[in-house]
Amino acid sequence: MPPPRLPIRLYRAGLGALFGKRLLLVHHTGRHTGIRRQVVLEVIAYERDGDRLSWTVAAGFGPSSAWYQNLRHSPQAVVQSGNHRYTTTARFPSPEDGGALMARYAPAHPRPARRLCSFMGSDVDGSEAAYRRAGHRIPFVRLEASPGPPRG
């Protein structure tokens, strides 16, 4: 696994396309300091419906993660997917939606899904029901892009 700041450096060097749609650079605002912050997160779900784009990410360290709390306080963010930037608004799916997200994500990405669930304290047996139960307890964030073309 690369050092935590390495993906941010690669994005800054214009190499974000190396990550495809699996990783996303999120520019958010610190809730206490007002300083711009960055975090690279794994994408759980990517959706495109015409001009509408959204990325769903999980707070793998729980709801006390700084970036998660920052988005709760100030839901406007800029995300960088590949070499394109999008203005987004953070939405927070319900536990039921989280369960559905994990049930869809797990078959496509079994190892990361099992690790995420384990890290969050959920023992899963590989069944859809187990992933659905685990997804109820994982805090997810859906970053919805504003209409219009990417910023660059």
Give per-residue pLDDT as tens, 39-84: 999 999 999 988 889 999 999 888 999 999 999 999 999 999 988 9
pLDDT band for position 150 (50/70/90)? Answer: low
Element (H, E) at 145: strand 140-145
Identify the bridge partners of residue 41 per DSSP, sorted by sequence position.
Answer: 24
Give per-residue pLDDT as tens, 95-145: 999 999 999 999 999 999 999 999 888 989 999 999 999 999 999 999 999
**What are the two backbone dihedrals, phi and then psi, of residue 142, each rounded to the nearest 5 degrees?**
-105, 120
Residue with tokens 């799916």: 93
- Residue by residue, DSSP assigns 62-92 as -TT-HHHHHHHH--EEEEEETTEEEEEEEE-
The whole-model pTM stands at 0.88
DSSP state of 56: E
> Cβ neighbours of residue 49 under 8 Å, at least 6 residues apart?
none
Q: Where are the domains of the chain?
A: 5-145
Question: Does CATH place domain 5-145 in 2.30.110.10?
Answer: yes
Q: Which amino acid is at 73?
A: H
Mean pLDDT of 12-18: 82
pLDDT at 145: 96
